[in-house]
Structure 1
């Protein structure tokens, strides 16, 4: 009896119930474990299907080929030939594998290059599209819609208004004294939390102050009105879209939304709504003359509106997504922060780019100082506020870097002395002492906030946290 697998006499023979073939037990068990079939057939075979065969123990004689030196040399030569042949076959398989791998790598590299080129073409097409807008032609239905590039300056009447406001503000600033009763350093140091009110708004994003009322916008699509004097929630204004920015214009609350809308509400009634941005609006700013409203958005667009009609009067596109904006206190300059970390300065009348400052990180917020020369800005991931000087360029424009911790909101007081910051680590006040040309920090609190605004005569700070909690900070005596 010979094993059907090895062709040798089995030491522990077993026979298959299904075919009657004889196998060496250890060999057939290993084969079944790997293949679950009987060798040479497709029939399922289990260990239980094997029957042991009882035989007498036989001492196998030495194979005849190993009984002499010539036969042993012949056997060794045969084994060497087999080994050489196997090595040759292995080298052939390795060469084929290398060729297949090289082909696969080449195809992968080509695919990556094609994807990169298509992605670049897509981004260029999107950028070109963001600079275009569909405007109705005079012919209406006869000629259809025309594609035009918008880069509009202000109308003559509003341009003249900008000049008037600039002349008035510049003239008054040079000789403007600190108002009587304005907060001193001691007053700022004495500020402490006197009110802590949880508003209905969830995920607060913005804060605007007008007299004794604060407007807090949130991602829930509402703007909550808060009475600072009564330290209580008054009512909620329904916007209907997630609010990203809020400003006061007289008694009117204007809100920007993540869906590209700018909406005005007065007396609880919506008085105007316009959608000019192709994407979220990220910032609002009011011109000092209060006849022009500006908005910026992720579509890289800057849009100016006539506040009487809330209609677009000027527009320009930049090279990067815009994150924040502010008017110069004289109104003749407009600043826009970008996602690329640049701060672009534009002429308000023509919307021509006048200057560029580098912050080094996506701009979170920026605000101009009332001294007319400085503006403060902070970026994503930064733990400081950078003061820029408009009169200088490059690195020389960085007048000061204030270590405040992370900041999401900035507010400069009317005199240009105090800069309030709001962040997750708390509210601080940075003071510039003109006599010594130095900076001090008269106040640092642990009140977390996303936005902060100055109250009457800088004797009050109003801040709101991300959770919609309004905090009022006042001196003990008040």
Structure 2
């Protein structure tokens, strides 16, 4: 008969009246003295509940002294008994710990499921709330000017603006399908020989916005200074001062669009302000111009983007999202609008409806987005990151990431040329140009310049690369003086 505690044959077996288990007498007596319970069932157990089992056994001699071999064997036996009791205790504790861990894991899994469900319901509620238009139609008295109120606007574009967006898309997408490389476009060999040929600088201490169009460069600074250069003529054309930091800029023909830290969006012609919008409750972090040149978009850290009608200088739509927005860009056809978020996600919306079409994960707060003229790809970079990722808007998940470049320094700006071949990447360590050969479907680096680029853009036919550094110094990279 085996002892239920030690698992060894019992020399003096006893049986429990309570559980019917067999034990070694000396082990169970020690257990009862310490615990007073049955070690198997946990029921109360006393010495009177033990019945001796009569078996044939060899009577061991009584050890005379501790210095004799029999006495040592007895000591070893006592040590073994203690070890057997401790081992049994450990097995019991291990079993209880396993049961407690199993219960804790079950409770944790249940909690995670509840949190996921509540998060999903919260996001659905936010999405539904963002589509509610709050307005006063005259059926109730207007609230007092000093009363607390919350306006949730999520508007659809007016029908005439929708027609503009759809018409622009139809015209541009049709011409893009078989568009050849424009005649006179610089070759990869030309660009590989680009170097800094001209520089011009002005009173901008900390550049925070860059825009280039037709040889004119507009730069805004954290001190509110706005400077317009003509790099080709190596001169500063004019400058003016805003009362707040400039956070974003863009050109619309001869007009300069400026986003500010207070959330306002202002439009200037020369040094004269011709329009101003104050729709954001946080800094305007990005502005983008629709290909039709009649629609303007701005994004903000207040989690919303706004569309403006440039003909009538009015807001025509606002859409709220679930994350602070950091930058934006229109698709070359204008039917899609991409917005980068502080959470590292790039959300792509339908311009006409404001509905989200798809999204891509960058893994870091989005700092720059630029679409390729092929209409399928866009490049994006994270704030403070040295990696540029190219995504295909036709795909999802990991398959959407077409290519990744490591630049060696933090990326500040991106620019794709009109021929869809050259991607310029500007950063703290300089300028890099990647060339895509459509015939071989391969990428190659054709230029590296050590001129630090806070902002950059291509000239017509990529014959020049216009670059600006943190201090507002503008340079032209080209093959000729």
Q: Deviations over 1:336-387 (max 9, x none)?
A: 0000000000000000000010001110111100000000001123211000
The aligned residue for residue 262 of structure 1 is 265
The aligned residue for residue 144 of structure 1 is 143
| 1:294 is aligned to 2:297 | yes
User: What secondary structure sits across from 2:243 in the alignment?
Assistant: coil
Residues 61-460 of structure 1 mapped to structure 2, 5 A cutoff: 137-139=136-138, 142-144=141-143, 147-405=150-408, 406-460=410-464
User: How far apart, in 1, do the equivalents of 2:206 and 2:378 lie?
Assistant: 28
Alignment CA distance shift 1:327-1:402 (3 Å): same
Alignment CA distance shift 1:176-1:132 (3 Å): closer
**Unaligned stretches of 5+ residues in structure 2:** 1-121
Query: Over aligned residues, Cα RMSD in angstroms?
Result: 2.4
* CA apart distance, 1:240: 2.3
User: How far apart, in 2, do the equivalents of 1:149 and 1:339 lie?
Assistant: 21
Task: Say if 1:452 and 1:462, in contact at 8 Å, map to a contact too.
Answer: yes
The aligned residue for residue 25 of structure 2 is none
Task: Say if 2:336 and 2:351, in contact at 8 Å, map to a contact too.
Answer: yes
The aligned residue for residue 475 of structure 1 is 479
User: How far apart, in 2, do the equivalents of 1:271 and 1:172 lie?
Assistant: 34
Normalised TM-score (structure 1): 0.71
User: How far apart, in 2, do the equivalents of 1:422 and 1:205 lie?
Assistant: 14
Whichever of the two has the greater Rg, that structure is: 1
User: How far apart, in 2, do the equivalents of 1:221 and 1:138 lie?
Assistant: 40
User: How far apart, in 1, do the equivalents of 2:160 and 2:363 lie?
Assistant: 38
User: What secondary structure sits across from 1:181 in the alignment?
Assistant: coil
Alignment CA distance shift 1:140-1:193 (3 Å): farther
User: What secondary structure sits across from 1:162 in the alignment?
Assistant: helix
User: How far apart, in 1, do the equivalents of 2:352 and 2:140 lie?
Assistant: 33
* CA apart distance, 1:149: 2.5
The aligned residue for residue 44 of structure 2 is none
**Unaligned stretches of 5+ residues in structure 1:** 1-123
